[in-house]
Each structure stands twice: as C-alpha cells, then as structure tokens.
Amino acid sequence: MSPCSELGKTCNPCLDAAKSCNLNETCKRLRSAYNSICSKATPPQSTPANQEPCSRKRCQKALRQFFERVSWELSYPLLFCSCSDQACAERRRHTIVPSCSHQERTRPSCLELRANCRSDALCRSRLADYHMNCRPTPHSVTSCPNEHFHGCLMAYVGLIGE
C-alpha cells in the first residue's frame, strides 16, 4: 500500500520529491543554487527600464547543471510530479521552471525560438534528440518510439534551460 492510499494521509508527490532531494547533498546544493540564482535580480543598469528581473543566462545554466548532475531518480520526480490542485501546480512551475529562466522583456515567437535553436549547435543537437526519442508512433502504448519512455524524458530534460 502506498503512503498516498493510506487512510487519513494526504498525498503530495511534489512535496515528497522536494523532501527526497533535500536528503541528498548534491541535489539539495544544486537545487538551492538554481533557486538562488534564478530569484536574484540583476544589478541596476543605467536606467530601470534596462533592468531584467534576473540573469536568464545564469539561471538557465544553473538549471542545466541541476539536471546534468543530479540523478534522474531525484530530479524527475521534482519535474514530473503530479499535482491535484492549482496551488501545487503553480509552486511546481515556480520551483522547477522559474520565470527568470524563460521570461524576456520582449517575447520571441515560436518561429524565432526555432530559428535560434537551429543556429546553436548544442540546442540543435538536443532538439534532434528530442524529436528522435519523443516523436509519437501509432503502434506503441506510450506513443514513444520503441516504448523508450525514459529516453523521451531524458531528451525533454535536455531541452530545459536552453
């Protein structure tokens, strides 16, 4: 019987994943690092209009380091935990995808993002990996090629922070 199905117990997989991460020194340290970097405002520029809420580049680098250096057994439950209410979903989004990592003063279109990714060798490689491992196939249960669900998740995680 799982802890979530026991009578009187509330189930919060996201909280459980965060607790598990905090019990592992590497996970805790790298999670704290990206939380710190991604919530930090950049130093004031010449005018407040030029000030970004944080350094996107540093935030994205910290997120990539987290997913590259923390085992998937600890990082995936944080990224893919299921929420039963909007508050949990919002906390998860802020925790694992801080707005700093993706918000810009001007929002690029999907076509601009695709063009930028195709012009960068690392992003292009990771996007190709994602397409290869995650394209839907009509003859599989998970719709992942060769039922390689873990490979698809790894490819998806590879794009985070790009």
Higher pLDDT, 66 or 85: 66
- pLDDT above 70 as % of the chain: 72
pLDDT at 13 over 80: yes
pLDDT of the residue at 25? 96
Contact (Cβ atoms closer than 8 angstroms) between residue 105 and residue 51: no
- CATH classification for the domain delimited by 108-162, as one of 1.10.220.110, 1.25.40.10, 3.30.40.10, 1.10.540.10: 1.10.220.110
pLDDT of the residue at 116? 86
Task: Considering the chain, tell me which residue range(s) the CATH 1.10.220.110 domain(s) occupy.
Answer: 108-162
Average pLDDT, stretch 142-159? 73
Q: How far apart are CA 160 and CA 9, in angstroms?
A: 33
Handedness of CA 82, 88, 89, 95 (dihedral sign): negative
Q: What pLDDT band is residue 148 in, cutting at 50, 70 and 90?
A: low
Q: What pLDDT band is residue 135 in, cutting at 50, 70 and 90?
A: confident
Helix locations, the chain, DSSP H? 13-23, 25-38, 56-69, 72-80, 86-96, 110-119, 121-134, 149-159
Per-residue pLDDT tens digits for 38-53: 876 544 443 345 455 5
